[in-house]
Amino acid sequence: MSSNPRGRSDSPPGLSPMGSMDTVLDIRRLCIAYETEGKSLPAVRDVSLGIAGRQSYGLVGESGSGKTTLALGAIRYLAENGRITAGEVFFEGRNLLELPAREVRSVRGNRVGMVYQSPSTALNPSIRVGSQVAEVARRHLHMGKAEARERALHMLEQVAMPDPEAVVRRYPHQLSGGMLQRCVIAMALITDPRLLIMDEPTTALDVTTQAVVLDLVAELKSRLDAAILYITHDLAVVARVCDRVGVLYAGEMVEEADLRTLFSRPRHPYTLALLGCIPRYRVDGRRGRLLTIPGRIPHLDELPSGCVFAPRCPLAEEACRASRPPLREIGEGHLSACRRFTAVPTPAAYVEDIESAVDWEAVSLGEERLLEAHDVEQHFPMRGNLFAGKARRKAVRAVDGVTLYVNRGRTLGVVGESGSGKTTLARALIGLEAPTAGRVLFEGEALGGTTARRSRTVLKNIQMVFQDPDASLNPRHPVGEAISRPLYLLRGVRGAELRRKVRELLAAVNLPAAYAERLPGELSGGEKQRVAVARAFAAEPKLVLCDEPLSSLDVSVQGSLMNLLHDLQVEQKTAYFFISHDLAAVQHLSDWIAVMYLGKVVELGDALQVLNPPYHPYTEALLSAVPVPDPGVRQSTIRLEGAVPSPLDVPPGCRFHTRCPRVLGDICRTQEPPWQEGPGSHWLCCHIPCSELEALQGPCLLSVCLEDEGG
Amino acid sequence: MTAPEIRPRRRLLGVYWRRLRRRRAALIGTAVFVVFLVMALAGPWLTPYGYSDQSPDRLEPPGWPHLFGTDQFGRDIFSRVVAGAQGVFFLGGSATILAVLVGTAIGLVSGYYGRFLDEIIMRVLDVFLAIPSLLLALVLLATLGSSNLNLILVITVLYVPVLARVTRSMVLDLKTKEFVEAARIRGERSGYILFREVLPNALAPLLVEASIRFSYAIFLVASLGFLGLGAQPPSPDWGLQVNEARGWFATAPWMLLFPAGAIALLVVSTSLMTDGLRHVLQPKGAER
C-alpha cells in the first residue's frame, strides 16, 4: 500500500485531466477493512474511481473482489465491523468522510439511490407497492400523502411500469420479478438522486426479465443526468449498460478503461482471462475450449506480497511477485496494474490459442438412443381445501406431456425460463418423483417411477449434479465419504481400492487428494461443485443429469467446470441432460437443444439448427435476451413482458400466446399448434409455417457476435 | 477457506470455544450448571451432614456450622439442598434423555415417511400437546401412583410430542435437501439416509431443544414434589422442602429460600447455558 502510482494526477481517470466539475462521485485511494475475530482484513485497498453525471460506471469482479464493499464504503454504509482506513470520497464536491453522520444520512437518503440484487427481499411483502414507493417521497422529500402518491405514480411511469394505477394497489407477491425490480428502481429514483448505485440488479432475474431491466437501465442512463455505479460479475451485462468499466480483483482495481477499449484490447491478464471464460457461439459448431484461471482468489489474510494476481497469472515474472505494481495510465483513459501490459495478447489471439489445443477428432459419437421420454407428465394436485368439491380441484401442470431423447455420449441442452418445468422433468427422469403419466425408457427398457423401483444397474447408469453446491453435499460428511458412497454401493468397491478410487476421482476433477478429509464447509462453491461432479461420475454412469450446475458459480469457475464436464464426456462417453437458463452455456455444451415453455417442449433439434432461423418465437425471444459480451453487437430487441403464466392455469391453445410477439390470431388462442419440421433435424411447435418464420426473423441472432469478433 | 491440513473435528471444537468465550452470560450459566452437576455427582462427599441427620439445633438461622441454617428437626439445610441436586438431575436428566430418544425416533419416522402415517402420529401428539402439562402430569401420577419411575415416565410422555415435532420439522426440511436426494439417487437404504444423512444435521437443534426441556423438567420435578406427587419425606427433594417449609416461613424463612433459590438458580443457569449452546451450534447466518 506504500507504492506511489506514477504518472497519475489526483483527478479520477477517464475524465478531463484537471477533474471535471461534473464529477458526481470521486473516490480517491480508498481503503476499507473488516474487523473479524480480532483480525483486520483489508477488503478494499487503494481504489480510486470517478463517475460523472450521465455516465455509467461498471464495477466488475468475481465474488469476494470487494465490489459491494467499495460501493457501500463510498457512501459510508458499511456493516458494523467495516471501517474506512484511508482515502477520500468526494460526493458533489464534499468529502463524505469528513461530514457528520447525520449529514451523511441525509445525503444517502436524498442524493443517492440504491438498487439491490433481489427485488423480492428489498420490498416489504405486507405493504402495498404504492405505499412503499410513496413512503420514500414522504420521508425524504417531506411530501404530503396525496403529493407523494402522485410522485410515486409518476416514478412508476418513468420506469415504464405497465398500468401503474393498478400496480400501486398490489402487494409485492402479486408482481413479477421484473415489475418488482422496476418498483425498486422507481424507489431509488424518486428523490431524483445524483448517484444511482445498482448492485447486481439483474442477477436474481430470468434472462428474459434481465433483458427488460437492462433496457430500462440503458434508457434511464440516457434520460437522467445521474451518475450510475453498476456493480456486476457479468461482463456481458456491462457491455450493455456501461460507458466505463473498472475491474476489481481481491480488493484492488487492476484495470480501468472505456467499455470498448476494455473489450477490444484489455491490458491486464485478469480482464483477458475473464473475457476468455465466457462461452461464445460458433456457427461452424466447433466448440472452443473455455479459458480458465488456475487457482482461486487469494483470501484477504494471506494476500501475496507482489501483484495480487501474480499467483494465477500466466505472464507473471519474478518482478511481479516481488513488489506490487501500481495502477498506471497506459493509454488515453486506460489504466492497468500490470507490469507486463504490453505482453497481454489480444482477445482474438488468446481464444485461438486455447482452441487449437483441443483434439476434436477424438469426439466420435453415436446416434443410439440412451434415454427416451414419452409423453411424460408431472401434475401435482393442489391440496384442496376441505370444503372444495373434488371436481373443482386443480393440478399444477409442471410437466405436461414431454417427449424427447438423449443419445449415447451426447448432450441434450434444455433451456427455458424458470417455471418452464425443466427441473421437474429431470427429477421425473431420474426417479425422485414418479411421473403422473408417460414412460421413461433407458437403453430401450422401461424404468420404474421412483429410484426405489429401479435396479442397481439403472441407478448406477443415471446420476445427477445439482444446482446448489451448498445443499448437494452433506455438511457433516467429509468429501471422501461423499465420493466413496456411490463407489461402495453401486460398484462394490471396498477397502484400499476404495481409497485409491476416491483419490483418482478427486484428481479427475482437479482437486488434491488431501481434500478427501475436508468437510464441505471448508470448500469454495466451485470446489463443492467439482466434488458433486466427482460423486456423480464415481458410479461411471452413462447419463448425467445436470440441473443448472453453473448458475451459482463465478464466471471463471463456470468456465473450468464446463471444461471439466466436457473432458469427462470425451473420456467416458457420458451423455448429458444439461439444464440451464444460460443459452450461451447450453449452446457451448450441447449437441441437441430442447426449448421448454410452461411444461412443454416448443422447439427441439440439432443445436446448430435450433439456434439458427427459423426459430420458435419463444426461442427467438430467449436468444435476443441473452446479453452478448461484446459492446459492438447490436441484437434484435424482442422482449417478453410479464412472467411465465401459472402452471395451474395453462392458457388454452398455444400456451405461449399470452406473451408471443408474433401471435397470428384466434388460431393461437384456441388450437394447440402442430409440430412442424424445419431444415435439418429440427422441429418446432407453432402455427406459423417455418418458411414464414424464417422470413419474419433476421439472420442468426448470435452469429452477429461472431462476425464482429473477427475484427 | 484455505485452511491448513488439520483434522476438521478439532478445528470445530476450537471454533465452538471461541464463540462461547464471547458470551459472558452463557459462560456464567454453564459454570453454575457445572457446580450443580458436581453437587449431584459428589453430593455425599461434599456435605458436612447426612440429609436426614437430626441435631438438637432446631430452626437455627444461617451461620456456622450450619451454613444455610437448620429446619424444625434440626436437619442441616445446606446438606439437604446439595443432596437434593442428585434427585433433580437424575429425574430430569433421565426423563429428558428418554424423551429425546423416543421423540427423535417418532419425529424421524413421521417426517421421513410422511403421508398417512405422519398424519396419524401428528394428530395423536396434538392431543397430548393440547392438555396443560402440569395437569396431565397430576392426572397420570395420581392414577399410576407416585414413584421415581412413574415420575420419569410421565415427564417423558409430556415431552415426547414436543421433541417429535422439532425433529419432524427438521426432517421435513432436510429430506428435500439435495444431498438427501443424491443419496436416494445412488440407492441408499432408508436407514442410512435417516441416521447418516438426516440425523447428524438435526443434532445441533435437538441438543438445544433437549437442554431447554431439561430446564423445564427441573421445574416440573420441583412442582410435583411441592404438590406432594413426587418424592416423599424425608427425601431432600427441593420441591418437597419448599412445601415443608411453607408453615415455618414466618419464623424460619431460610428453610424456604435456599431450596427455592436452588431451583431458580439451576433453571436460570440451564437456560443461559442453552442460549450459549444455541449460539455455539447454530450461529446466526452461518447455518441454514
Which CATH number covers residue A570? 3.40.50.300
| A284 lies in some domain | yes
Nearest CA in chain B to A468: B178
Q: Do A485 and B188 touch (CB under 8 A)?
A: yes
CATH number of the domain encompassing residue B173? 1.10.3720.10
Domain boundary (A593, A623, A646) is at A593
| A633 lies in some domain | yes
Reading across the β-sheet that carries A369-381, which strands appear in turn? A395-407, A369-381, A437-442, A445-446
Interface test with B, best of A81, A456, A485 (most B CBs within 10 A): A485
Q: Do A451 and B187 touch (CB under 8 A)?
A: yes
Q: Which amino acid is at A60?
A: V
The mean pLDDT value for A309-327 works out to 89
How close B208 comes to chain A (CA, Å)?
18
Query: What residues does A51 pair with on adjacent strands?
Result: A25
Q: What percent of chain A has pLDDT over 70?
A: 90
pLDDT tier, A709 (very low <50, low <70, confident <90, very high otherwise) = very low
Q: Do A517 and B3 touch (CB under 8 A)?
A: no
How close A118 comes to chain B (CA, Å)?
17
Contacts 24+ apart (CB under 8 A), A693-697: A693/A613, A693/A614, A693/A615, A693/A616, A693/A617, A693/A662, A694/A613, A694/A614, A696/A662, A697/A613, A697/A614, A697/A615, A697/A620
Reading across the β-sheet that carries A543-547, which strands appear in turn? A462-465, A543-547, A575-579, A411-415, A592-597, A600-606, A682-685, A675-677
pLDDT tier, A383 (very low <50, low <70, confident <90, very high otherwise) = low
Torsion angle defined by CA atoms of residues B109, B114, B117 and B121, in that order, rounded to the nearest 10 degrees:
70
Find out whether A595 and A416 touch, Cβ atoms under 8 Å: yes
Q: 3-state SS of chain B: helix, strand, coil percent to 5?
A: 75, 0, 25
Q: pLDDT at residue A387 above 60?
A: no
Phi, psi of A319 (to 5 degrees): -60, -30
pLDDT tier, B280 (very low <50, low <70, confident <90, very high otherwise) = confident
For chain A, give the number of residues: 711
Predicted pLDDT of residue B2: 36
- What are the angstrom distances between the C-alpha of B132 and each of B135, B138, B159, B223? 5, 10, 12, 14
Phi, psi of B10 (to 5 degrees): -65, -40
Lowest-pLDDT range, A258-267, A346-355, A370-379, A401-410? A346-355
Least CB-CB distance to B186: which of A302, A489, A518? A489
The mean pLDDT value for B13-18 works out to 76
Distant-in-sequence, close-in-space partners of A75: CB < 8 Å, separation ≥ 6: A89, A91, A96, A104, A107, A108, A112, A195, A197
List the alpha helices (DSSP H) in A435-547. Answer: 456-461, 469-472, 479-491, 495-508, 525-538
Q: Is A535 on the interface with B (CB under 8 A)?
A: yes
A334 vs A332: CA distance, rounded Å: 5
Predicted pLDDT of residue A365: 53
Mean pLDDT of chain A: 85
pLDDT tier, A377 (very low <50, low <70, confident <90, very high otherwise) = very high
How close A485 comes to chain B (CA, Å)?
8
Please write the tens of the pLDDT for every residue from A412-451: 999 998 888 999 999 999 999 999 999 999 999 999 889 8
Find out whether B60 and B75 touch, Cβ atoms under 8 Å: no
Q: pLDDT at residue A311 above 50?
A: yes
| A7 lies in some domain | no
Interstrand relation of A675-677 and A600-606 (parallel, antiparallel or unpaired) = unpaired
Find out whether B182 and A467 touch, Cβ atoms under 8 Å: no
Nearest CA in chain A to B181: A432
Number of domains in chain B: 1
User: Which of A11-25, A266-280, A424-438, A696-710 has maximum average pLDDT?
Assistant: A424-438
| B151 lies in some domain | yes
B269 vs A45: CA distance, rounded Å: 46
| A602 lies in some domain | no
B93 vs A608: CA distance, rounded Å: 69
The mean pLDDT value for B107-128 works out to 91
Q: Which residue has the cell 450459566?
A: B29
| A5 lies in some domain | no
Predicted pLDDT of residue A288: 64
Please write the tens of the pLDDT for every residue from A203-223: 878 888 888 889 899 888 888
| Prediction ipTM score | 0.81
The mean pLDDT value for A148-157 works out to 92
User: Which of A8-22, A296-310, A343-357, B141-155 has maximum average pLDDT?
Assistant: B141-155
Please write the tens of the pLDDT for every residue from B191-233: 999 999 999 999 888 999 999 999 999 989 999 989 888 888 8
pLDDT tier, A6 (very low <50, low <70, confident <90, very high otherwise) = very low
Domain boundary (A593, A623, A656) is at A593
Domain boundary (A532, A561, A593) is at A593
Number of domains in chain A: 4
Question: Residue-wise over A501-516: b if at least 16 C-beta within 10 A, else e?
Answer: bbbebbebbebeeebb
| A511 lies in some domain | yes
Please write the tens of the pLDDT for every residue from A61-117: 888 888 999 999 999 998 888 899 999 999 998 999 999 999 999 899 889 999 988
Q: What percent of chain A has pLDDT over 90?
A: 40
Q: What percent of chain B has pLDDT over 70?
A: 94
The mean pLDDT value for A22-33 works out to 92
Predicted pLDDT of residue A506: 92
Interface test with A, best of B180, B185, B194, B196 (most A CBs within 10 A): B185
The mean pLDDT value for B36-53 works out to 85
User: Which of A182-186, A520-524, B245-249 has maximum average pLDDT?
Assistant: A182-186
Find out whether A667 and A653 touch, Cβ atoms under 8 Å: yes
Among candidate residues A474, A67, A478, the one with its CA nearest the CA of residue A247: A67
Residue A431: alpha-carbon gap to chain centroid: 28
Q: Is A489 on the interface with B (CB under 8 A)?
A: yes
The mean pLDDT value for A18-26 works out to 70
- Based on the fold, state whether residues A576 and A616 are members of the same structural domain: no
The mean pLDDT value for A548-566 works out to 85
- Based on the fold, state whether residues A378 and A522 are members of the same structural domain: yes
Torsion angle defined by CA atoms of residues A465, A470, A471 and A475, in that order, rounded to the nearest 10 degrees:
120
Predicted pLDDT of residue B104: 95
Q: Which amino acid is at A215?
A: D
- Based on the fold, state whether residues A189 and A209 are members of the same structural domain: yes
The mean pLDDT value for B183-198 works out to 92
Q: Is A151 exposed, middle or buried (0-12, 13-18, 19+ CB in 10 A)?
A: buried
- Residues 272-331, chain A, touching B (beta carbon < 8 A): 296, 299, 302
Among candidate residues A665, A683, A707, A667, the one with its CA nearest the CA of residue A615: A683
Among candidate residues B69, B92, B82, the one with its CA nearest the CA of residue B39: B82
Least CB-CB distance to B182: which of A454, A514, A535? A535
Q: pLDDT at residue A18 above 50?
A: no
- Based on the fold, state whether residues A120 and A88 are members of the same structural domain: yes
Run of H or E including A86 = strand A82-91
Q: pLDDT at residue A13 above 50?
A: no
Find out whether A308 and A3 touch, Cβ atoms under 8 Å: no
A558 vs A547: CA distance, rounded Å: 14
Q: Which is more confidently placed, B240 or B11?
A: B240
B24 vs B90: CA distance, rounded Å: 28
| A13 lies in some domain | no
pTM to 2 decimal places: 0.84
pLDDT tier, A389 (very low <50, low <70, confident <90, very high otherwise) = low
The mean pLDDT value for A132-140 works out to 91
A107 vs A193: CA distance, rounded Å: 9
Predicted pLDDT of residue A533: 93
Q: pLDDT at residue B160 above 90?
A: yes
- Based on the fold, state whether residues A228 and A278 are members of the same structural domain: no
Predicted pLDDT of residue A643: 73
The mean pLDDT value for B135-156 works out to 90
Lowest-pLDDT range, A72-81, A349-358, A546-555? A349-358
| B150 lies in some domain | yes
* Rg, chain A, Cα only: 26
Q: Which is more confidently placed, B167 or A582?
A: B167
Q: How many helices (H) and strands (E) does chain B have?
A: 11, 0
Q: Do A519 and B8 touch (CB under 8 A)?
A: yes
Predicted pLDDT of residue A357: 47
- Based on the fold, state whether residues A218 and A309 are members of the same structural domain: no
Domain range spanning residue A644?
Answer: 612-710
User: Which of A366-380, B72-86, B92-106 has maximum average pLDDT?
Assistant: B92-106
Interface test with B, best of A456, A457, A465, A474 (most B CBs within 10 A): A474
* Rg, chain B, Cα only: 23
pLDDT tier, A647 (very low <50, low <70, confident <90, very high otherwise) = confident
Predicted pLDDT of residue A446: 92
Interstrand relation of A437-442 and A244-249 (parallel, antiparallel or unpaired) = unpaired
Find out whether A589 and A566 touch, Cβ atoms under 8 Å: yes
Predicted pLDDT of residue A354: 56
Q: Is A41 on the interface with B (CB under 8 A)?
A: no
- Based on the fold, state whether residues A68 and A200 are members of the same structural domain: yes
Query: What residues does B266 pair with on adjacent strands?
Result: none
Among candidate residues A604, A607, A627, the one with its CA nearest the CA of residue A676: A604
- Based on the fold, state whether residues A537 and A397 are members of the same structural domain: yes
Least CB-CB distance to A518: which of B8, B181, B287? B8
- What are the angstrom distances between the C-alpha of A165 and each of A124, A157, B51? 19, 9, 80
Among candidate residues A280, A283, A278, A207, the one with its CA nearest the CA of residue A609: A283
Please write the tens of the pLDDT for every residue from A175-198: 888 888 999 999 999 989 999 999
| B19 lies in some domain | no
| B91 lies in some domain | yes
Predicted pLDDT of residue B53: 82
- Based on the fold, state whether residues A419 and A562 are members of the same structural domain: yes
The mean pLDDT value for B14-36 works out to 86
Lowest-pLDDT range, A13-27, A397-411, A514-528? A13-27
- Based on the fold, state whether residues A426 and A459 are members of the same structural domain: yes
Predicted pLDDT of residue A30: 94
- Based on the fold, state whether residues A279 and A213 are members of the same structural domain: no
Predicted pLDDT of residue A388: 54
| A168 lies in some domain | yes
CA dihedral (B161, B162, B167, B168) positive or negative: positive
Run of H or E including A208 = helix A207-223
Domain range spanning residue B263?
Answer: 86-281
| B9 lies in some domain | no
Q: Is A311 exposed, middle or buried (0-12, 13-18, 19+ CB in 10 A)?
A: middle
- Based on the fold, state whether residues A552 and A486 are members of the same structural domain: yes
B80 vs B50: CA distance, rounded Å: 8
How close B207 comes to chain A (CA, Å)?
16
